[in-house]
């Protein structure tokens, strides 16, 4: 059975050292436009806004954003993408940007080739259509059309940019397993609470019940964490009602100064 592991790994403690690094300030006019047109960013207070600007600036300096398949992204689009990707980093800080360098952006959903060997040793090859993908040390990949669809309906519980960034945070300790690096005590509470609510959620999905949370969350512990993260930002009340313990951990994890 899928498990949320309890490990002794912590990135928190080296937090906010990044604030001392020199940053190129964002164009203030462009930033106002991005914030004004992006509902998920509008609720930030002054401190949150300053932290998000610093992270966004760092993201734009450190990450190579590459539009592919004929897509073009102007400075506004790049800043908006960077800000969305950095929204889940307000608690963790710049450590959350470690381990990868490329953001690839497709105009729309994209196809990838998959293969797996079944229990009988037979190789199966097939194509999958994705709106986002993120490997532990590889590029983060997003569909621009789906990012825009999320922004147009910002409280529906979906945000592919946050979903993929949650996978990146999850992978920071070397294992994509639904548990990002945390101080030891918090880690064991997180593992126990996530396990309990994940098991309950999987039972509902397996029983064929309609769930308020996207049933894709039952795929695995890592998808449970990534989907719950989407709800934390875009439909937090749904998460609080459906998965209250998970909601409390995410509230702490994603808030500025999370340690």
Q: Which residues bind Zn ion (CB under 5 A)?
A: 223, 226
CB of 227 to Zn ion, least distance (A): 7
Residue of closest CB approach to Zn ion: 226
Copy the structure tokens of residue 222.
């890592």
Nearer to Zn ion, 26 or 217 (CB): 217
CB of 163 to Zn ion, least distance (A): 6
Nearer to Zn ion, 34 or 226 (CB): 226
Query: Phi/psi zone of residue 244: left (φ > 0), alpha (ψ -120 to 50 degrees), beta?
Result: alpha
> Long-range CB contacts (< 8 A, 24+ apart) of 22-29?
23/54, 23/57, 23/58, 23/61, 24/57, 24/61, 25/53, 25/57, 26/53, 26/56, 26/57, 26/60, 26/79, 27/75, 27/79
Nearer to Zn ion, 159 or 226 (CB): 226
CB of 50 to Zn ion, least distance (A): 30
Nearer to Zn ion, 65 or 226 (CB): 226
Assign 184 to helix, strand or coil. Answer: helix
Q: How many Å apart are CA 146 and CA 201, to the nearest integer?
A: 26
CB of 134 to Zn ion, least distance (A): 7
Nearer to Zn ion, 89 or 159 (CB): 159
Are the C-beta atoms of 220 and 153 separated by less than 8 Å? no
CB of 223 to Zn ion, least distance (A): 5
Question: In b/e form, how buried is each residue of 101-124, taking b as 16+ CB within 10 angstroms?
Answer: eebbbbeeebeeeeeeeeeeeeee
């Amino acid at each position: 059975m899928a498990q949320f592991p309890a490990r002794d790994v912590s990135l928190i403690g080296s937090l906010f050292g990044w604030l001392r690094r020199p940053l190129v300030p964002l164009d203030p006019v462009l930033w106002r436009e991005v914030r004004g047109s992006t509902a998920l960013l509008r609720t930030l207070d002054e401190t949150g806004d300053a932290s998000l600007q610093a992270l966004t600036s760092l993201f734009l300096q450190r990450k190579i954003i590459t539009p592919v398949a004929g897509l073009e992204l102007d400075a506004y689009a790049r800043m908006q993408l960077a800000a969305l990707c950095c929204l889940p980093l307000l608690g963790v800080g710049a450590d959350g940007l470690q381990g990868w360098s490329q953001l690839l952006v497709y105009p729309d959903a994209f196809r990838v080739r998959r293969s797996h060997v079944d229990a009988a040793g037979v190789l199966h090859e097939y194509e999958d259509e994705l709106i986002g993908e993120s490997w532990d040390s590889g590029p983060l990949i997003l569909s621009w059309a789906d990012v825009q669809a999320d922004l147009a309906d910002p409280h529906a519980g979906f945000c592919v940019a946050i979903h993929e960034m949650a996978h990146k945070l999850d992978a920071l300790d070397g294992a994509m397993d639904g548990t990002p690096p945390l101080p030891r005590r918090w880690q064991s509470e997180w593992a126990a609470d996530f396990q309990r609510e994940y098991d309950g959620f999987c039972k509902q999905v397996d029983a064929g019940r309609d769930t308020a949370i996207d049933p894709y969350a039952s795929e695995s512990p890592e998808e449970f964490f990534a989907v719950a993260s989407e709800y934390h930002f875009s439909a937090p009340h749904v998460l609080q009602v459906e998965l209250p313990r998970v909601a409390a951990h995410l509230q702490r994890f994603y808030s500025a100064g999370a340690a």
